[in-house]
């Protein structure tokens, strides 16, 4: 399934390294990375892909990322890309 | 390809503007459960609901987690019980309500609706048993919701039923007075009800439906308000366009959730209810959307026009986003469930009369309105008659969900908790309509031409 990983918080060393490591450990391939500063906060968006379609695997990834987020002091979310595609793409 | 702005916008809607999917509702036909034995009937109802809805909650939670959008409630709607229980030997349908409650709790849903009777023209023996059972049924169960249809554009208004329901609402309030008449919050009186409504307390699964279906009710007043903040001072053309675009996006999420739930549960997709359903949380208010259009307080002059625009634009924007639209689609104005409405009543800018005017253009009717405990049954019936007349003449769904709170009067506040919120008691007219209500009979169906 296609995943969108978003990271929001105060910029610091090691965010990309940390997130990439967790994703790699869970066999998630990163397709693109995009980042911007919005309202003074670091916003990073990663388009990713995983071979597994199961909710259970996604939950495991989400839990690992949430834990990393707590360690780094940022909010990390992993969502199925469908919600964004449904909202912003017609057809 | 998705842009970074698209992704941030969606997540801002969810996390800052409280966008959620209000409910996934599974409609289940209980017609096949009919039995001459009351015990057998209740057993069949319990078995059918627990079998059909076994995975409803888990599926909802899975989708919620995958997409990262809250799905607040999972609910069940069933065939109006008066139609299912009519052939049984029961003389009260309280045991059926208890079976519904037990089954709904067993599968873990938040509410089950359909303890209902459709008496728009006349009542059968079963309809009368059901209506008489409502107070005790709502007092002895926790998550069963009840509704009664008393009128429609095609049939006129059944004023005998209107009279009886006033008494039933009073009895329900009395039996649940320990909880500030909470039972009345689970009872809706309809004119022109819809058969595929996923929203409570008025959901039931109509007889024109199949064995089962998945319907989804979306929400998102906070998102609409946020979008309107960016067009302050602009013309209504821009306001309408902005609401339409926002409603489209909200509804696309609802459609996605409905499709997924339908596929995973292997049940047909029913409809999306394109509704702006508020919650008492700050930032999730329909009243605040109206105020964002330029009204200093909801309920002042201009409110009806603002609501008319909002209701229409939500439907127009949402229609293209979904393959099947139904339910009550539009903007809900439940007082106790909307922080802005609560404030407007508290400061005196929103009255029952203005709410009645607003129901001419909103999606439903007088909803979650706490009235003084000493309001008579006649007055409640008269409120229902007025509201039904608006629905009947304007060919729209209208409903009444009022709560006469025992021992409380104007100026006091009643707390229902959770999604039901809290409400200041609102003033009703002190002048009696007793003789009007005592007449009974039917108000004839209206003419459909010469509509000036």
Q: How many contacts does A have with B, using Cβ atoms within 8 A?
A: 60
| pLDDT confidence tier of residue A91, bands split at 50, 70 and 90 | low
| B206–chain A nearest CA distance, Å | 30
B116, β-bridge pairs? B147
Nearest to B369 by CA among B326, B399, B396: B399
Condensed to tens digits (0 to 9), the pLDDT of residues B388-431 reads 999 999 999 999 999 999 999 998 999 998 888 999 999 999 99
d(CA B380, CA B428): 9
Q: Which of A36, A43, A82 has its CB closest to that of B67?
A: A82
pLDDT at A22 over 90: yes
Q: Which residues neighbour A42 within 8 Å (Cβ) at sequence distance 6 or greater?
A: A7, A8, A9, A10, A11, A15, A35, A74
CATH architecture classification, B15-191: Alpha-Beta Barrel (3.20)
d(CA B121, CA B111): 28
Condensed to tens digits (0 to 9), the pLDDT of residues B86-141 reads 999 999 999 999 999 999 999 999 999 999 999 999 999 999 999 999 999 999 99
pLDDT at B238 over 70: yes
pLDDT at A33 over 70: yes
Percent of chain B at pLDDT above 90?
A: 92
d(CA B403, CA B174): 11
Residue-level pLDDT at B420: 87
B125 touches chain A (CB under 8 A): no
A45 touches chain B (CB under 8 A): yes
Name chain B contacts of A36, Cβ cutoff 8 Å: 4
Nearest to A7 by CA among A63, A66, A85: A66
* Cα first-last separation, chain A: 19
Nearest to B188 by CA among B179, B170, B200: B200
Q: Which of A43, A77, A88 has its CB closest to that of B2?
A: A88
Are the beta carbons of B8 and A43 separated by less than 8 Å? yes
Mean pLDDT of chain B: 95
CB atoms < 10 A from the CB of B174, how many? 15
> Quick one: average pLDDT of A46-67?
91
d(CA A1, CA A49): 6
Q: Which of A43, A55, A86 has its CB closest to that of B256?
A: A86
Residue-level pLDDT at B131: 98
Residue-level pLDDT at A52: 83
| pLDDT confidence tier of residue B2, bands split at 50, 70 and 90 | confident
A82 touches chain B (CB under 8 A): yes
Residue-level pLDDT at B428: 97
Are the beta carbons of B66 and A79 separated by less than 8 Å? yes
Instruction: Report the residue of chain B nearest A5, measured CA to CA.
Output: B7
Are the beta carbons of B65 and A88 separated by less than 8 Å? no
Cα dihedral value B349, B355, B359, B365, nearest 10: 130
Q: Domain B218-438 - what CATH class?
A: alpha beta
Are the beta carbons of A58 and B66 separated by less than 8 Å? yes
> Quick one: average pLDDT of B292-308?
97
ipTM, 2 dp: 0.90
Which residues 15-44 of chain A have a CB within 8 Å of chain B?
A: 34, 36, 38, 43
Residue pair B146/B202 in contact (Cβ under 8 Å)? The answer is: no
Of B8-12, B152-156, B304-308, the range with the lowest mean pLDDT is B8-12
Residue boundaries of the structural domains of chain B: 15-191, 218-438
B68 touches chain A (CB under 8 A): yes
d(CA B357, CA B398): 12
- CATH node for A2-88: 3.30.70.260
Are the beta carbons of A55 and B67 separated by less than 8 Å? no
Q: How far, in whole angstroms, is CA B271 from its chain's centroid?
A: 15
Q: Which of A55, A86, A87 has its CB closest to that of B66?
A: A55
| A46–chain B nearest CA distance, Å | 9
Residue-level pLDDT at B7: 93
Name chain B contacts of A43, Cβ cutoff 8 Å: 4, 8
Residue-level pLDDT at B3: 86
pTM: 0.94
Q: Which residues neighbour B389 within 8 Å (Cβ) at sequence distance 6 or greater?
A: B151, B157, B191, B443
Of A16-20, A36-40, B329-333, the range with the lowest mean pLDDT is A36-40
| A23–chain B nearest CA distance, Å | 16
Residue boundaries of the structural domains of chain A: 2-88
| pLDDT confidence tier of residue B363, bands split at 50, 70 and 90 | confident
Are the beta carbons of B8 and A38 separated by less than 8 Å? yes
B111, β-bridge pairs? B75
Condensed to tens digits (0 to 9), the pLDDT of residues B45-86 reads 999 999 999 999 999 999 999 999 999 999 999 999 999 999
Are the beta carbons of B11 and A6 separated by less than 8 Å? yes
């Amino acid at each position: 399934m296609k995943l969108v990983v978003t990271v929001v918080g105060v910029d610091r060393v090691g965010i990309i390294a940390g997130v990439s490591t967790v994703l790699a450990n869970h066999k998630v391939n990163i397709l693109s990375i995009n980042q911007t500063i919005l309202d003074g906060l670091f916003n990073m968006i990663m388009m990713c892909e995983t071979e597994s379609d199961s909710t259970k695997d996604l939950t495991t990834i989400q839990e690992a990322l949430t834990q990393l987020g707590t360690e780094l002091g940022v909010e990390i979310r992993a969502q199925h890309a469908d919600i964004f595609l449904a909202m912003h793409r017609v057809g | 390809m998705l842009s970074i702005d698209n992704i941030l916008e969606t997540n801002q809607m969810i996390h800052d503007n409280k966008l959620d999917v209000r409910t996934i509702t599974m409609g289940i036909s209980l017609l096949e459960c009919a039995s001459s034995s009351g015990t057998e009937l209740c057993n069949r109802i319990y078995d059918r609901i627990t079998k059909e809805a076994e995975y409803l909650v888990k599926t909802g939670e899975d989708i919620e987690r995958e997409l990262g959008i809250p799905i607040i409630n999972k609910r069940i709607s069933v065939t109006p019980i008066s139609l299912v229980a009519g052939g049984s030997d029961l003389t009260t349908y309280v045991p059926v309500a208890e079976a519904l409650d037990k089954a709904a709790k067993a599968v873990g849903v938040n509410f089950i609706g359909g303890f209902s009777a459709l008496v728009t023209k006349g009542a059968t023996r079963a309809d009368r048993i059901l209506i008489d059972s409502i107070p005790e049924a709502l007092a002895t169960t926790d998550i069963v919701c009840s509704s009664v249809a008393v009128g429609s554009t095609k049939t006129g208004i059944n004023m005998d039923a209107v009279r009886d329901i006033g008494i039933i609402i009073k009895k329900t309030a009395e039996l649940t007075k320990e909880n500030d008449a909470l039972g009345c919050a689970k009872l809706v009186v309809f004119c022109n009800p819809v058969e595929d409504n996923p929203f409570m307390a008025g959901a039931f699964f109509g007889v024109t439906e199949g064995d089962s279906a998945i319907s989804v009710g979306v929400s998102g007043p906070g998102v609409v308000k946020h979008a309107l903040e960016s067009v302050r001072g602009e013309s209504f053309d821009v306001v309408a366009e902005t609401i339409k675009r926002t409603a489209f996006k909200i509804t696309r999420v609802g459609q996605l959730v409905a499709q997924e739930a339908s596929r995973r549960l292997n049940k047909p997709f029913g409809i999306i209810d394109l509704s702006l359903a508020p919650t008492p949380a700050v930032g999730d208010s329909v009243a605040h959307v109206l105020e964002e259009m330029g009204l200093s307080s909801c309920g002042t002059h201009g409110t009806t026009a603002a609501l008319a625009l909002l209701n229409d634009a939500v439907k127009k924007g949402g229609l293209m986003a979904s393959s099947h639209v139904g339910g009550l689609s539009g903007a809900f104005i439940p007082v106790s469930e909307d922080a802005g409405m609560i404030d407007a009543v508290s400061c005196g800018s929103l009255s029952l009369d203005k709410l009645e005017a607003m129901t001419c253009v909103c999606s439903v009717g007088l909803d979650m309105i706490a009235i003084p405990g000493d309001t008579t049954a006649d007055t409640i019936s008269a409120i229902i008659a007025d509201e039904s007349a608006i629905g009947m003449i304007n060919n729209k769904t209208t409903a009444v969900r009022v709560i006469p709170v025992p021992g409380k009067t104007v100026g006091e506040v009643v707390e229902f908790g959770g999604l039901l919120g809290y409400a200041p008691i609102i003033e009703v007219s002190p002048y009696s309509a007793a003789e009007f209500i005592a007449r009974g009979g039917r108000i004839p169906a209206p003419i459909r031409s010469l509509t000036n």
